[in-house]
Amino acid sequence: MTDLLYSETEDDLRAAVRSLVAARGDTAALAARAEAGSPYDPRLWASLAAEMGAAGLLVPEKLGGQGASHREAAVVLEELGRGVVAAPYLTSSVVATQALLSLDTDTEAVATLLAELAEGRRTAVLAVPLSAAPDGPLPEGTGRVTGVADAATADVLLVLRADGLYAVEAAQAVVEPLTPLDLTRPLAAVTAGEGGTRLADAVAGATAVRSGLLAGAGLLASEQLGIAEWCLEETVRHTGERHQFNRPVGSFQALKHRMAQLWLEVVSARAAARAAADALATGSPEAALSVAVAQAYCSRVAVHAAEECVQLHGGIGMTWEHPAHLYLKRAKADEIALGTPGRHKEALAALVDLQAP
């Protein structure tokens, strides 16, 4: 394991993404767009993916990317979590990109699509349910797949069929928008049918899909860390400014204990998320173990932090105007994304040969 502290380059990247999100990631506007059914801000995505080059962090330079690693992508996701940004970064720039990188990148179709994703000119998603775990069952065939995240806005769908993995233009598939709990990460049902460009045979395709899901689960922990950090900081700020009986609400011991406990959980979540990102970046043989630990822990921390944020804000935390509900819904949706905490605990037990009593 390498140093888990943030490097100077990662700090610079964080500052750039945070500045962009602060300038264009207005949560009131996001809530309005989400309610209208189109949560994405195309200008923000263009700045993040193309101008900043964040979409190509995982892609080697020879294929048109930035040649960075999962650690840098994790920093981007931390900031996108802090701003509860609606953007297809996790699904396209991490999961789909990682799946393509696991294939033969000398193949023209794979290399061309990777270059397009790295430049932010197109987005792609795996046609699997958002809840699909890295070691869980995968859809195969031409049937309808429900709960596919970001499929409604994707340009390309990566479809696993019985005879291989295909890249299917979204226009050639039937994509039916669904109503998700988290309006900032749209879901859809996808029926890809026949056609498309075959990228790999069935075995290589399934392996690539699982690689994409593993990277997605590992880096999702960083998004969850960002959610938890914002919720804690916003709660501490609010309870320090809100007064009752001529005292800041946050000075009451019962509330201080709750926020202190949450701080401990956030610190631990940061260690788990960083370990998963580093294991993926270095190709560690314990990557699956680190990812399972991170997902089993960070999912619960994000939900706990969001719940505390809503409750400790009192009445205003229950309103539509305050962004706390956006964070709670994202945290709850992330809790079942790419495998539930229970599923990852089972995976962890199997990896360390811990038998159930």
Q: What pLDDT, on a 0 to 100 scale, did the predictor assign at position 268?
A: 98
92 within a domain of the structure (yes/no): no
Residue 223 in domain: yes
**What pLDDT score was predicted for residue 242?**
94
In this prediction, residues 124-129 reach a mean pLDDT of: 97
Q: Is residue 337 part of a domain?
A: yes
Nearby residues of 214 by Cβ (< 8 Å), 6 or more positions away: 98, 134, 280, 287, 288, 291
* % of the chain at pLDDT higher than 70: 99
**If you average pLDDT over residues 99-106, what whole number do you get?**
97
pLDDT reported for residue 3? 83
Threshold 0.85, pTM exceeds: yes
Residue 246 domain boundaries? 206-352
Is 13 domain-assigned? no
Q: How many domains does the chain have?
A: 1
**DSSP-derived secondary structure for 100-165:** HHTS-TTSHHHHHHHHHHHTTS--EEESS-TT--TTS----SSSEEEEEETTTT-SEEEEEETTEE
Q: What is the pLDDT of residue 1?
A: 56
Residue-wise pLDDT for 248-277, tens only, equals 999 999 999 999 999 999 999 999 999 999
pLDDT for 355 equals 79
Residue 106 β-bridge partners: none
Q: What kind and span of H or E run contains 74?
A: helix 70-82
Query: H or E stretch including 40?
Result: none
CATH number at residue 348: 1.20.140.10
325/27 Cα distance (integer angstroms): 11
Secondary-structure breakdown of the chain: helix, strand, coil percentages, each rounded to the nearest 5: 60, 10, 30
Q: Is residue 226 part of a domain?
A: yes
The reply to whether 258 falls in a domain is yes
CA angle 16, 19, 23 (to 5 degrees): 140
* C-alpha dist (Å) from residue 236 to 27, 260, 317: 19, 10, 13
Q: Is 1 part of a structural domain of the chain?
A: no
Report yes or no: 59 and 23 within 8 Å, Cβ to Cβ. no
Calculate mean pLDDT across residues 11-30.
93
What does DSSP say about strands 243-244 and 174-177: parallel, antiparallel, or unpaired? unpaired
Alpha-carbon gap, residue 215 to 228, rounded angstroms: 20
**pLDDT interval class at 147 (50, 70, 90):** very high
